[in-house]
Structure 1
Amino acid sequence: MPPASTNSSSDSKPTGGSGGVQSLERAFDLLERMADAGGEVGLSELSAGSGLPLPTIHRLMRTLVTCGYVRQQPNRRYALGPRLIRLGESAGRLLGTWARPYLAELVEATGETANMALLDGDEVVYVAQVPSRHSMRMFTEVGRRVLPHSTGVGKALLANVPAQEVRALLARTGMPAATGQTITDPERFLESLARVRELGYAMDDNEQEIGVRCLAVTVPDSPTAAAISISGPAGRVTEAATGKIVPVLHDVAVKLSAALAGNGAA
């Protein structure tokens, strides 16, 4: 009889619920836990968070290090590896490609510039845009990074984040004023997030740029925190226009969510 393998044979078997390979599911779970922790963790932290035994985590991390997706630091902690950068950049470009038909639908329905943004660490990054046909319109470059406290997409993305995490983020980034309308007090900002939850959408009212209003909603069940928005001159994005635009935003967000899940097509 051949000797028993030291590797857990269950790791390579399909899991009962998803039909996937357990070791892959565990490895990706560890990568996501590392990202949630800021990109660098110790084995004991991963074990406590994942519930996996240390030998299993050590084996998985060793494989990820060999593949370049994780690196071991001099302090023996593990950090996300540089090979993930290429994957992330490629995925980001594809995400923008997938989103554009839905943003174009927003532009067609509202007449205003449409954007898609993600929460990346403590910042909001714009990953896709379709401009308005109006000569007076808002331009936000794809790839631009902004602090979330002064943007509609930032408020939408933070609205359901626990208050203590929002406070910690604001403490790290500060709350510089982009305009005289920017909220610069953490408690006032938390109050504005409560308003977002109540209304079901977020607004940047001259807070990032004077004369510009932005309306934003999150993309439900997105694999990564995402929001879509329209932006335009305050004279066009009025209270009356808001009542018509917000349902369209929600409808397009649901369609985009289905597309990202592989259940829809442009």
Structure 2
Amino acid sequence: MSPLTPQAVTKDRVQPGETIEDEGRVYAVRSIERVVSVLNLLQESIDGVTLKEVADAADLPKSSAFRYLWTLEKSRYVERDTDSGLFRIGLGFLGMQSRHTEVLRERVRPSLERLRDDLDETTNLGLLDGHHVIYLEIIESRRSVRLAASRGTHDPLHSTALGKAIAAHLPEDRVRELLSEAGMPSRTAETITSVDDYLAELAKVRRLGYAVDNRENEPDGRCVAVPILGTRLPAALSVSAPEARFSMRDVEKTARTLIEVAGQITLSPTGTA
């Protein structure tokens, strides 16, 4: 491997096998090397890593490691689990994680189809995409009157059960940031439009294990959702139906079924269970 002189760097392209050196000094940027070390560590982890593990991998004090992670989190390249405090790869790498997303969709679809057949109502798989929820999969009810979005469309985080189920497991400062970016417009007379009220609702979601959209996104719609906590993606499952035939008692019963289904879904780095 032949070194390059400063004069050689002015060439249009670097030849294979060449390194860039100046009087014996390799042109490596230490801060970038540390970021790469952090991202490599996160990429190799399924469940997430601790702040100490990040500090050790990057050869940094914990205070400095936290600043690196905070910066990466602001750009959505890192996410922090509020319950465990562990750090994971974020949605900034969604393009790289497209295979994980597709594997998740493939794994969830049979469960959504069984739920639709059992309940005869629409079932959904949603994922956090920017400051909205995107529908990755929708299995529509066969009934002529049904509540269903379209695959690939977006809905608000603040007025949907899917959004609440996902947001309940994000850091509070991240939730506040998302709400600030998207706003909290009133979709119906029941929509939560206050940040404090929404955060209180998320606490309820964490306590119950499921989220409810009770005519908050559609005036005649009701939906129940649960987070999929066994994956590295911020995703959730839901069942939606016209509120006239989906009582709150039905919601509670359906939520228990959804929790069981979500608990069976896992995703490894290779896309297998």
Q: TM exceeds 0.5?
A: yes
Provide the secondary structure at the position in 2 that maps to 1:210: coil
What does residue range 139-154 of structure 1 map to in structure 2 within 5 Å? 139-154=148-163
Which residue in the other structure is 1:220 paired with?
A: 229
Aligned-partner residue type, residue 147 of structure 1: P
Q: By percentage of residues, which structure has more helix?
A: 1
Instruction: Summarize deviations over 1:147-177 as a string: whole Å, max 9, x none.
Output: 2001101000111323232222211211112
What does residue range 1-266 of structure 1 map to in structure 2 within 5 Å? 27-29=39-41, 51-53=57-59, 87-89=96-98, 91-257=100-266, 262-263=272-273
Q: Matched residues in 2 for 1:239 and 1:258: separation?
A: 31
Aligned-partner residue type, residue 134 of structure 2: V
Q: Matched residues in 2 for 1:85 and 1:144: separation?
A: 17
Aligned-partner residue type, residue 52 of structure 1: A
Aligned residue pair count: 201
Aligned-partner residue type, residue 272 of structure 2: G
Q: Matched residues in 2 for 1:223 and 1:117: separation?
A: 14
Aligned-partner residue type, residue 262 of structure 1: T
**Gaps spanning 5+ residues in structure 2: where?**
1-18, 20-35, 45-53, 61-89
Q: 1:221 to 1:95 in 2, by over 3 A?
A: closer
Which residue in the other structure is 2:12 paired with?
A: none
1:25 CA drift (Å) = 8.2
Instruction: Summarize deviations over 1:76-103 as a string: whole Å, max 9, x none.
Output: xxxx9x9x77655555344323321011
Output the aligned Cα RMSD.
3.2
1:237 CA drift (Å) = 1.3
Which residue in the other structure is 1:43 paired with?
A: none
Provide the secondary structure at the position in 2 that maps to 1:235: helix
Aligned-partner residue type, residue 165 of structure 1: R
Aligned-partner residue type, residue 104 of structure 1: E
Instruction: Summarize deviations over 1:27-52 as a string: whole Å, max 9, x none.
Output: 544679xxxxxxxxxxxxxxx87851
Aligned-partner residue type, residue 182 of structure 1: T
TM-score, length of structure 1 as denominator length: 0.65
Q: Matched residues in 2 for 1:126 and 1:50: separation?
A: 38
Q: Matched residues in 1 for 2:189 and 2:151: separation?
A: 25
Provide the secondary structure at the position in 2 that maps to 1:119: strand
Q: Matched residues in 2 for 1:86 and 1:252: separation?
A: 27
Aligned-partner residue type, residue 197 of structure 1: R
Q: Matched residues in 1 for 2:216 and 2:235: separation?
A: 20
TM-score, length of structure 2 as denominator length: 0.64
